[in-house]
């Protein structure tokens, strides 16, 4: 069976709440990650929870990036799924670590196919 994509599922712990509380900040981070990873954005959709927290997705021609944040717990859940060049998923993950600066994380990498 051919491998057609790479799927990274991650949980970030100890993320500063100001980085993950509001849509504008989260959207900017996700758009920067997509661009710097060489991914092709189709469209993004984000929802602001009250009083804080964000859920969002960026649809990619390669698949998607999604996020859900719990600033009150300094927690982020990420989903990075790309088809094509697997290095782009790895790069996106590295950039999320760089920009969100979690104190710790766990992640799972799945070959899809």
Q: Could you read off the pLDDT of 31-86 as tens digits, one per residue?
A: 999 999 999 999 999 999 999 999 999 999 999 999 999 999 999 999 999 998 88
CA distance to 3, 8, 11, 73, 82, per residue, from 110 (Å): 10, 6, 15, 27, 11
Q: What is the pTM of this model?
A: 0.95
- What's the domain range around 91? 5-62+85-112
- Asked, for residue 79, whether it belongs to a domain, the answer is no
- Asked, for residue 93, whether it belongs to a domain, the answer is yes
- What is the count of structural domains for the chain? 1
- Asked, for residue 89, whether it belongs to a domain, the answer is yes
Q: Give the three-state DSSP class for 83.
A: strand
Indicate which CATH number applies to the domain containing 16: 3.60.90.10
| Annotated catalytic residue 68 | yes
| Annotated catalytic residue 83 | yes
| Annotated catalytic residue 107 | no
- Asked, for residue 52, whether it belongs to a domain, the answer is yes
- Marked catalytic residue, from 7, 68, 73, 107: 68
């Amino acid at each position: 069976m051919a491998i057609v994509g790479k799927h990274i599922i991650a949980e970030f712990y100890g993320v500063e709440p100001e980085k993950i509380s509001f849509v504008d900040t989260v959207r900017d981070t996700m758009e920067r990650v997509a661009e710097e990873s060489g991914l092709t954005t189709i469209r993004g959709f984000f929802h602001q929870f009250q009083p804080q927290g964000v859920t969002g997705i960026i649809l990619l021609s390669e698949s998607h990036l999604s996020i859900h944040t719990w600033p009150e717990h300094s927690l982020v859940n990420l989903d990075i799924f790309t088809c094509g060049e697997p290095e782009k998923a790895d790069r996106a993950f590295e950039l999320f670590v760089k920009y969100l600066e979690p104190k710790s994380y766990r992640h799972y990498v799945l070959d899809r196919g």
